[in-house]
Structure 1
Amino acid sequence: MTPLSRRHDFALIFDVTNGNPNGDPDAGNMPRLDPETNHGLVSDVSLKRKIRNYVDLARTGEVGHHIYVQEGAILNEMHRKAYVALRPDDTKAAKDAKLNPKDDAEALKLRDWMCANFFDVRTFGAVMSTGINCGQVKGPVQMTFATSVEPIMPVEITVTRMAATNEAEKKKASEGGDDQRSDNRTMGRKHIVPYGLYLAHGFVSAKFAEKTGFSEDDLALLFEALTSMFEHDRSAARGEMTTRRLIVFRHQNALGNAPAHKLFDRVRIGRNVEGEWRALDDRGLGNLAPARRFSDYVIEIDREGLPEGVEILDLV
């Protein structure tokens, strides 16, 4: 695999229609939002989960593409695999509750084994020192929370279930007439965002990629996942989520040729007013109806006067 030799920064733009992109368990699973601005939030952890799930689907069973953090996994048993691989004649490696590297050289080999076998370890890094110690790794790929470009209005919707859960409940409903059947419905609630357009930033460090083995092939797979991850994450709760744009700034060298924030400022999202771009803070937008579709926005990329050594890849 070709080592990653150039820094990349990217802007991920996605939307949600009639769904909950990331529920907050501390707020009754309402969509996450900034309480001061009412802008919606989607955590970096949520986005990384979707990337992991896509890679697991797309590269199931492939060497080097296993997923370390997955539902139901016992992390210490993942660590044990590294010790068993490096100590094939040590019977204790397969059963001891606690294991530690013998020296710095073995610690490095354990870390490298985890990076080589688990895509998400060499991509996002991991703390692997719980009980069976494989150290920790700082990943080359980091992401921010996604923030909606305009305030969102979460809506709480009541839902009912008409089926009974047991015979006694069914009998009570049938004997009580229409009023009893109505009262006997199982009630529930779901929270949705009617429409929201979200923006997240990501960073890929070629220098940290040298340490984990993150390669050009891994980068291509990461961008593939960012493009397609919502296509395989459908559920009634999440409504319709879609990656709308993936804008990548590729530098010529490992350290980069321009500050990331100046590059991200070149991506401008505004409202579509009769086919023209209008700034989101334009006071005249107060007369517009709330955005309810992607076509209500216009995305512009300033390509003029790019810093030397930086190119823009518009992948979606």
Structure 2
Amino acid sequence: MSLTNRYDFVLLFDVKDGNPNGDPDAGNLPRLDAETGHGLVTDVALKRKVRNFVAMTRDQAERDPQPGEKRFEIYVREKAILNRQNQRAYSALKLDAESPEPAPDEAAEKKPAKEKPAKEKKRKGGGDDVNKARDWMCQNFFDVRTFGAVMSIGVNCGQVRGPVQITFARSVDPIIAQEHSITRMAVATEAEAEKQGGDNRTMGRKHTVPYGLYVAHGFVSSFLARQTGFSDADLELLWQALSQMFDHDRSAARGEMATRGLYVFKHESELGNAPAHTLFERIQVVRKADVPRSFADYEVAVNEAELPSGVALLRMV
């Protein structure tokens, strides 16, 4: 069933002695705002965790689906070749991925052929076939109908604007990125072992945040949901993923991460009954300790008094 309500949500999560989102352009240091020192986690990183959760929890159900029931595949997977994913839509629908070229007229035949500039070259697929392929991709891939995707390069499945959007997460307070030396009691090659005289040690570096509490905002549009087929069941799966995604994404690099709060504002109107920013301001996080090192060092104040007419607050965590 298609959505008939607008949703805005606030996601609180924390990290202890880990790196929530390293920056590969900065030696994998935790991302931060250079002016304020607040920590950042990109929307891409959060969506990756949602994708991984859906792939993990829906994998068994998708192994032997009934016809038309395969709805929870993930389009942007590790090591995926996206044009191969796009080609599946044309193969399943028995469409020709090659866009037909118009027949040249007599005048054009007399002129020497000129190669089109690269940006004007035709993509594979066109017209109604693209629309059919786009609908097929939305139906079969959870992340396409949720977050949207650009699928118009190569095998053309069009572009999808997703109904669910998530902002960068920002830490409540400035963070400190600590750097640690680590030792591996092994080497990769015999040449390294001979060079060390059998000591066989490899030195490395590791970056962590002692503690950080992060806040991200999200939005769900029912109008865009109708265009992609994002349903009430998909929305419930999204809430579940946001609530539990860190529990199944453990690694030595990320330390202890957990969702600490998921506050959802449900609007009766599809257009919305109040501006999102005024609702987000009702969730206030106050530091209780000078140097916070746990979630207990913060207090989350939720102002539920006199909510705007037509808005309900749902606590998922």
**TM-score computed with the length of structure 2 as normaliser:** 0.86
Partner of 2:43: 44
Moved over 3 A (4+): 90-93, 164-175
The code of the aligned residue for 1:244 comes to R
Say whether the 8 Å CA contact 2:98–2:125 is kept in structure 1: no
- 1:142 and 2:142 matched: no
- Cα shift at 1:41: 0.1
Q: CA–CA distance in 2 between the matches of 1:311 and 1:7?
A: 11
For residue 305 of structure 1, give the secondary structure of its aligned residue in structure 2.
Answer: coil
Q: CA–CA distance in 1 between the matches of 2:186 and 2:146?
A: 46
Say whether the 8 Å CA contact 2:177–2:209 is kept in structure 1: yes
- Cα shift at 1:164: 3.6
Q: Which runs of 5+ in 1 are unaligned?
A: 176-180, 273-287
1:124-139 matches, within 5 Å, as 124-139=147-162
For residue 59 of structure 1, give the secondary structure of its aligned residue in structure 2.
Answer: helix
CA RMSD of aligned residues (A): 1.8
Q: Percent identity?
A: 58
Q: CA–CA distance in 1 between the matches of 2:41 and 2:97?
A: 45
Distance 1:305 1:158, change over 3 A: same
The code of the aligned residue for 1:263 comes to L
Match of 2:217 among 191, 195, 201: 201
Q: CA–CA distance in 2 between the matches of 1:173 and 1:311?
A: 65
For residue 16 of structure 2, give the secondary structure of its aligned residue in structure 1.
Answer: strand
- Cα shift at 1:120: 0.3
- Cα shift at 1:155: 0.1
Partner of 2:310: 309
Say whether the 8 Å CA contact 2:97–2:155 is kept in structure 1: no
- 1:86 and 2:93 matched: yes
- Cα shift at 1:290: 0.9
- Cα shift at 1:253: 1.9
For residue 10 of structure 2, give the secondary structure of its aligned residue in structure 1.
Answer: strand
- Cα shift at 1:99: 2.4
Q: CA–CA distance in 2 between the matches of 1:164 and 1:203?
A: 48
Distance 1:91 1:314, change over 3 A: closer
**TM-score computed with the length of structure 1 as normaliser:** 0.87
- Cα shift at 1:161: 1.5
The code of the aligned residue for 2:233 comes to D
1:1-316 matches, within 5 Å, as 2-60=1-59, 61=62, 63-87=70-94, 99-101=124-126, 103=127, 105-171=128-194, 173-174=196-197, 181=199, 185-272=201-288, 288-316=289-317
For residue 172 of structure 2, give the secondary structure of its aligned residue in structure 1.
Answer: strand
- Cα shift at 1:174: 4.8
Partner of 2:116: none
Q: CA–CA distance in 2 between the matches of 1:54 and 1:250?
A: 24
Q: CA–CA distance in 1 between the matches of 2:286 and 2:156?
A: 49
- Cα shift at 1:166: 3.8
Structure 1, residues 33-52: CA drift from partner, whole Å, max 9, x if none?
00000000000000000000
**What is the number of equivalent residue pairs in this alignment?**
287
For residue 13 of structure 2, give the secondary structure of its aligned residue in structure 1.
Answer: strand
- Cα shift at 1:245: 0.3
Q: CA–CA distance in 1 between the matches of 2:215 and 2:97?
A: 50
Q: Which runs of 5+ in 2 are unaligned?
A: 100-121
- Cα shift at 1:185: 2.8
- Cα shift at 1:165: 3.4
The code of the aligned residue for 1:33 comes to L
Q: CA–CA distance in 2 between the matches of 1:106 and 1:171?
A: 62
